[in-house]
A and B are shown apart, each in its own frame.
Chain A
């Protein structure tokens, strides 16, 4: 069974600091990769996705992620965080044509002014 690991459980950054959140998955075949964000009191929203092609994908609100197949990783990055980025971030994977997602345990990001 596939699994997804997010090693950073709680990250605290000052505004304008750079962000990198780790995501590693265990499946060796074809994968689709996602980052979702859950702002306080809101529903889960898609930040970005990787299906194929350019391994560097850009999402909403200045976020990007890089798929490194050899490292089974899909880390999320943002050069300069804002207070409004305070949220919980989830990495998720599905394999091939399967529709169900496997989620990581999430990373809570707190951005201070």
Chain B
């Protein structure tokens, strides 16, 4: 089945620790996105990438980093600089100009 796989489903971070969330898609989509979902705030864009080896900051990029070394993969690192990382993180992908498809999400919590 084609789709977007996010892992892990749940992740716990200790203070001062960097953690990496995985996002893989086998839809051959050009573009990939990371969103953060908080209760009552909808989805906010963290980073996006329209082609391999290129990415742009979204609206709330501070404290996060990404890479796009392969078309199918777009990992997100939540660094220790992100002071409020507890949230639900969603990865999406699409062909440019078409609706985005979403993964099942990763819930990140702080220990």
Contacts and interface: CB of A to CB of B under 8 A. Distances in A.
Contacts of B94: 99
A56 interface: no
Contacts, number: 48
Contacts of A90: 42-43
Contacts of A44: 90, 92, 102
Interface string B47-90: 01010000000100000000000000000000000000000001
Categorize the interface residue count of chain A: 20 to 34
A43 B102 contact: yes
A67 to B, nearest CB: 16
Contact of A100 (B41, B42, B48, B101): B48
Interface in A92-113: 92, 97, 99-106
Contact of A101 (B45, B50, B96, B101): B45
Per DSSP, chain B at the interface is strand
- Chain B interface residue bracket vs A: 20 to 34
Interface in B2-53: 31, 33, 35, 40-45, 48, 50
A34 B42 contact: no
B88 to A, nearest CB: 10
Interface of A: 4, 6, 9, 34, 36, 42-46, 49, 90, 92, 97, 99-106
12 contacts: A43-B103, A43-B104, A44-B92, A46-B101, A90-B42, A97-B96, A97-B97, A99-B94, A100-B45, A101-B45, A101-B100, A105-B42
